Amino acid sequence: MRKKLVAGNWKMNGSLAENAALLAAIKPALAGIEAAVCVPFPYLAQAQAALAGSSIAWGAQNLSDQAKGAYTGEVSASMLRDFACTYVIVGHSERRSLYGESDELVAKKYMAAQAAGLVPILCVGESLAEREAGVTEQVVARQLDAVIAAAGVASLANAVVAYEPVWAIGTGKTASPEQAQAVHAFIRGKVAALDPAVAAGLVIQYGGSVKASNAAELMTQPDIDGGLIGGASLVADEFIAICRAAAN
Q: Which residues contribute to the site for ligand PGA (CB under 6 A)?
A: 9, 164, 169-170, 207-210, 228-232
Minimum distance of ligand PGA from residue 163's CB (angstroms): 11
Helices (H), 195-235: 196-201, 212-219
Minimum distance of ligand PGA from residue 185's CB (angstroms): 21
Catalytic residue status for 137 = no
Residue nearest to ligand PGA (CB): 230
Torsion of CA 203, 209, 215, 220, to 10 degrees: -50
For ligand PGA, the closer of residues 8 and 153 by Cβ is: 8
Q: How many other C-beta atoms are found inside a 10 Å radius of the C-beta of residue 193?
A: 10
- Among 92, 101, 126, 184, the active-site one is 92
Catalytic residue status for 184 = no
Minimum distance of ligand PGA from residue 94's CB (angstroms): 7
Rg of the chain over Cα atoms, rounded to whole angstroms, equals 17
Return d(Cα 162, Cα 107) in angstroms, integer: 15
86-99: b (≥16 Cβ within 10 Å) or e: bbbbbbbbbbbeee
- Among 130, 164, 184, 238, the active-site one is 164
For ligand PGA, the closer of residues 118 and 153 by Cβ is: 118
Minimum distance of ligand PGA from residue 72's CB (angstroms): 26
For ligand PGA, the closer of residues 57 and 198 by Cβ is: 57
For ligand PGA, the closer of residues 170 and 222 by Cβ is: 170
Judge residue 61's burial from the number of C-beta atoms within 10 Å of its C-beta, 0-12 exposed, 13-18 middle, 19 or more buried: buried
Residues with a catalytic annotation lie at 92, 164
